[in-house]
Amino acid sequence: MYNLLKGKKGIIFGALDEKSIAWKVAERAHEEGAEFVLTNAPIALRMGQLSKLAEKTGAQIIPADATSVEDLTNLVEKAMEILGGKLDFVLHSIGMSVNVRKGKHYTDPKYDFTTKGWDVSAVSFHKTMNVLYNKKAMNEWGSIVALTYMAAQRVFPDYNDMADNKAYLESIARSFGYFFGRDHKVRVNTISQSPTPTTAGQGVKGFDGFISYAEKMSPLGNATALECADYTITLFSDLTKKVTLQNLFHDGGFSNMGVSDRVMEHFIEE
């Protein structure tokens, strides 16, 4: 490994199990010399695999519902106490649509579910940055990353209201990123990741067809969770100090494709 994060301190949201993108980021950050606190919603902690990761990476766990400013304030204060100073990196790896979970179609959602999913998946990023910004919790040249998906720009019918949540999330990254850059020299970016077989990913209807379509469409194939973690590490490192306000596609080239030979094969009539 390269010691890319040696001496850096951070918070990692959203590791649920070994498949989670955040889980891989924590493992890679540990390998690169970072110290961090792990957090997830209290209910996810009760489902209980995170302690395994905490043990492996020497991290402490602080529960926080990312929709609660009170929880987030406690999290940031405790993290700075535990880590002995300000933070250099934060990963927001959180997504959940109640409409998807309850099988409500995009054209006929339950709007209470829409609001809840928007709060968890998008506004939680604003709330997190609000607490970090106002507590001056980030070191200069720190880096904040949230994970997103290309349904924010293009139509993927079964992604449901998560498409709208991701568009909102990406906009928050730009808007808050301006103030964070101007006032604290902190960068804020989103990584737009390939479909990935995790708990959140597999919750999307038709996921198997969808992931294999993306695989065939992308010249480099889909990016795995571990590859996403590697990319995230570069954004936390000092090698990307002037990258900010960006939505960065990490998808094997999918986002710039029209059609590929491997997809065409399915449509050529003999």
Ligand X SMILES: NC(=O)c1ccc[n+]([C@@H]2O[C@H](COP(=O)([O-])OP(=O)(O)OC[C@H]3O[C@@H](n4cnc5c(N)ncnc54)[C@H](O)[C@@H]3O)[C@@H](O)[C@H]2O)c1
Instruction: Give min distance, CB of 201 to ligand X, in A.
Output: 3
Contact between 244 and 129 (Cβ < 8 Å): no
**Integer angstrom CA distances of residue 9 from 46, 119, 132, 177:** 26, 27, 14, 20
Q: Count, in order, helices (H) and strands (E) of the chain.
A: 12, 7
Residue 249 lies near ligand X (rule: CB under 6 A): no
Residue from 196, 218, 244, 247 in contact with ligand X (CB under 6 A)? 196
Residue 134 lies near ligand X (rule: CB under 6 A): no
Contact between 231 and 265 (Cβ < 8 Å): no
Nearer to ligand X, 52 or 241 (CB): 52
Nearer to ligand X, 133 or 210 (CB): 210
Q: Is 70 exposed, middle or buried (0-12, 13-18, 19+ CB in 10 A)?
A: exposed
Nearer to ligand X, 169 or 186 (CB): 169
- The residue with its CB nearest to ligand X is 201
Residue 120 lies near ligand X (rule: CB under 6 A): yes
Residue 40 lies near ligand X (rule: CB under 6 A): yes
* Residue 138, SS3 per DSSP: strand
Instruction: Give min distance, CB of 141 to ligand X, in A.
Output: 24
Residue 163 lies near ligand X (rule: CB under 6 A): no
Q: For residue 36, which of 75, 79, 81 has the smallest C-alpha distance?
A: 79
Residue 195 lies near ligand X (rule: CB under 6 A): yes
Q: Provide the CA 238 distance to its chain's centre, in angstroms.
A: 20
The count of chain residues that interact with ligand X, using the rule CB under 6 A, is 27
> Residues in the site for ligand X, rule: CB under 6 A?
13-14, 16, 20-22, 40-41, 44, 65-67, 93-96, 120, 147-149, 193, 195-196, 198-201
